[in-house]
């Protein structure tokens, strides 16, 4: 597959505004997604992801074993999520959009670092956690 930059931010207005004003223009073909129900498919084809450190998106990216850059914009719970992931080698974090871009370039050029992050994600995240949770609930109900 050819290189492509994909920007996605649900239904949020800020990305809509920013995506049409990118300066300089991206050197790669760029696709802007305003909403999709197929985030998991985009994660599976991604070389890396820059995201806010929400619990669901972070865990989904780690379950897909995609190198992950957390951009912390709001302190609090999401900051603790980023600390959790980065302390275990499953992500790197920054507060600066410019640094996030630099980290993305550095990671894209470092297959060893990407492989190490993927390995830690595979070791830490159970891709079958939903199935396992249901199995535990069903087993409890049968007792």
Which tens digit of pLDDT belongs to each residue from 69-120? Answer: 999 888 888 999 999 999 999 999 999 888 998 999 999 999 999 999 999 9
Please say if the pLDDT value at position 1 is more than 50: no
Cβ proximity of 57 and 43 under 8 Å: no
Cβ proximity of 78 and 54 under 8 Å: yes
The confidence band for 42, taking pLDDT boundaries of 50, 70 and 90, is confident
CA distance 135 to 117: 29
Q: Would you state the pLDDT for residue 27? A: 66
């Amino acid at each position: 597959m050819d290189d492509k930059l994909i920007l996605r931010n649900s239904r949020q207005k800020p990305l809509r505004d920013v995506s049409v004003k990118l300066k300089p223009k991206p050197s790669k073909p760029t696709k802007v997604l305003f909403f999709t129900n197929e985030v998991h498919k985009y994660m599976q084809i991604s070389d890396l992801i820059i995201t806010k450190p929400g619990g669901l998106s972070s865990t989904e990216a780690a379950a897909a074993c995609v190198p992950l850059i957390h951009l912390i914009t709001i302190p609090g719970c999401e900051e603790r999520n980023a600390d959790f992931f980065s302390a275990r080698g499953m992500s790197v974090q920054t507060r600066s959009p410019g640094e996030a871009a630099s980290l993305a370039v550095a990671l894209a050029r470092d297959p060893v670092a990407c492989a190490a992050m993927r390995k830690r994600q595979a070791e830490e995240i159970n891709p079958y956690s939903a199935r396992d949770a249901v199995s535990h609930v069903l087993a409890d109900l049968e007792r």
